[in-house]
Amino acid sequence: MDRLPTDAVGFFRYEGESLAQGTVDARAGGLALVGINECIRHFAERKNPALQRHGYELPVRTQEGSWEVILLGIGTLFAGPYVIKAAQTMAANDFKDTGLKDAIRASAQALVYLVRLIKHKRGDVDLKKEKISWDMKRDVALISNADGETLEIPAEFLRWYSSLPRSALKNVAYGVKEGVSLTIGAETSERNYITTSITRKEKVLFGFPEEDEPAEFLFPELANGDEVLLQGRLTRGNEQTNSIGLEYRGHILNCIPQVGNVNRYKTLLFTECVVSGVISRFPRGGVRPERKPTVLISHIREVAPSQVQDSLL
């Protein structure tokens, strides 16, 4: 982290071949700034509610090979092509326990842990229904995933997540694409940095479509209206879009329940299953069929290991 300013407490770094000159698409850059601003303010105001009455800066710096947003503490000004600015006057009695720099640092840390949590759960995060263990001595929450792996998160951060608008983090990840990844870093109290990243393949976990639309017309034998039985592995569930992904013959097919909520299939995630349903080539309307079929689910059943086959139609 040598290239960061000495007063930095966090950063968002978009890197890739298309950013070799330090430039970024206007829409991606604008949405990133909006999302970062919303996330950091949201967490900072929960660390110190007095911040709702005051402001802080989120300066942006560009340099060769990347496009960065640098989070700095109070009293530091960094010149850049974009600056999100607010009031600089702070009431001393508002910050007896937590200064602005501490609040922004904690916000960046909370965001790193949130991205780690979403990746840990493969996008399937519902804190109201999640089984959470607590280590009260260390004040951390422990959350397990479908693979039996456990992630530790500071309990304070976990309490902040439920009220964060989903769109905020999605905006932060908007600029991630083929050849461009995002690294988020946060300074710790020991002046080290904790980091996490979002790649193009992981972007789907943050509310984006499963993958870019393929150039070829996939599975032409699956015509609109066909009743099918498709065997594959369920890869993810998304309650926001009420959909689930089916890994079928090397591609991920979007599957949507004909009736009810996708949450009923949560226990089948990452298992081999047979999906019963009807093919739709027009899931979003229109007159042109989509290149990748969507399955309107009527039933899903798990396949016993002894019965697993490569495919089933």
CA distance 179 to 140: 35
Q: Which of 19, 27, 33 is nearest to 71 (CA)?
A: 33
Domain boundaries 227-307, CATH class = mainly beta
Name the more confident of 113 and 33. Answer: 113
Instruction: Output the average pLDDT for the chain.
Output: 81
Tens digit of pLDDT for each residue in 85-107? Answer: 433 343 343 444 457 788 889 99
Helix (H) or strand (E) holding 107: helix 100-120
Name the more confident of 273 and 15. Answer: 273
3-state SS, one letter per residue, for 246-272? EEECCEEEEEEECCCCHHHHHHHCCCE
Q: Which of 204, 272, 270, 271 is nearest to 241 (CA)?
A: 204
The one-letter amino acid code at 10 reads: G
> CA 191, 203, 193 angle in degrees (round to 5)?
5
Tokens of 222: 């699956």
**Rg (the chain; Cα; Å):** 22
**Residue carrying structure tokens 């900072």:** 44
Q: What is the residue-wise DSSP string for 44-55?
A: HHHH-GGGGGS-
DSSP label of 177: B
Q: Residue 200 burial (CB < 10 Å; 0-12/13-18/19+)?
A: middle
Q: Where are the domains of the chain?
A: 8-206, 227-307
Q: Taken in order 93, 96, 98, 100, is the CA torsion positive or negative?
A: positive
**pLDDT band at residue 167, thresholds of 50, 70 and 90?**
confident
Mean pLDDT in residue range 190-211: 86
Contact present, 174 and 39 (Cβ < 8 Å):
no
**pLDDT band at residue 165, thresholds of 50, 70 and 90?**
confident
